[in-house]
Structure 1
């Protein structure tokens, strides 16, 4: 059985690209949920889906409810090294992961005071360190949200 390249919404507002798949991916396909993904995997995946929720949640302070109720109705985790044709915004997490996207041409520019995070509004591309609390602090998440808000992400 060939596992799919994405888990979550078929037309996500935000797709997070990662270099590896979670455990029990096949069982998550019919009804993807953050709680099921976390239960079948490690704390590492809890951090990933929490950071995805913190960035994608339409209301910043409601990220927990968004993660638990709507995360995979509006976002997707993608594992192949090519951008999905169906995603509105693309988030590639990690420098090593970015290297897998050999043919990706972009004009991403660093955020002010955060050279490790780059954004290309034209291609709707967000490049960050790997989604982990040590590399993506709450302050950095807030800065990313501000830039995405400026680009209309939360109004669509």
Structure 2
């Protein structure tokens, strides 16, 4: 099983490993199920995904708990899914798995650790962990998505 969430999704976060118990909650994915079946590490991942994807930044907690997998998805294979959504490849080691990824991402002037390929809707960032993906970096990513119209008309 290489995918968790809606097809298509507005934002797909690509990761190199799967959460424990994936098959048990794949039919009805929820942040609570992912967190309950896994360690604190997965709580951080789904929380950072919610902080990025939530239409209103301050409402990320309720978005995570009630709407996360209605709008976003997790993908564990190194191939971009088709669709009009955004592709978020997190972590340098993870990016190296994408051997056929033809992207032209450019580092942001504010933080070269975050890069964007506007044409392909590909976002490259550090791994979603609080030490590597700080609130400041989350704000930069939200700025990129806002500039692209990601949050326009998006409600919970």
TM-score scaled by length of structure 2: 0.95
- 2:48 counterpart of 1:51: yes
**1:42 maps to what in 2?**
39
**2:5 maps to what in 1?**
8
* Structure 1: distance between partners of 2:4 and 2:84: 12
Shift of the alpha carbon at 1:11? 1.1
**SS of residue in 2 equivalent to 1:114:** coil
**2:73 maps to what in 1?**
76
**2:85 maps to what in 1?**
88
Shift of the alpha carbon at 1:125? 0.3
**1:31 maps to what in 2?**
28
Number of equivalent positions: 153
* Structure 2: distance between partners of 1:139 and 1:96: 22
Unaligned runs of 5+ in 2: none
- 2:111 counterpart of 1:111: no
Unaligned runs of 5+ in 1: none
Contact kept in structure 2, 1:15 and 1:87, CA below 8 Å: no
* Structure 2: distance between partners of 1:39 and 1:112: 38
Root-mean-square deviation (CA, aligned residues, Å) is 0.9
Shift of the alpha carbon at 1:113? 2.1
Q: Which runs of 4+ in 1 moved over 3 A?
A: none
Shift of the alpha carbon at 1:42? 0.3
Q: Which whole-Å deviations, capped at 9, do the CAs of 1:92-113 have from their partners, x for residues lacking one?
A: 0100000000011111111122
Aligned match of 1:153 in 139, 150, 155? 150
**SS of residue in 1 equivalent to 2:88:** strand
Contact kept in structure 2, 1:18 and 1:79, CA below 8 Å: yes
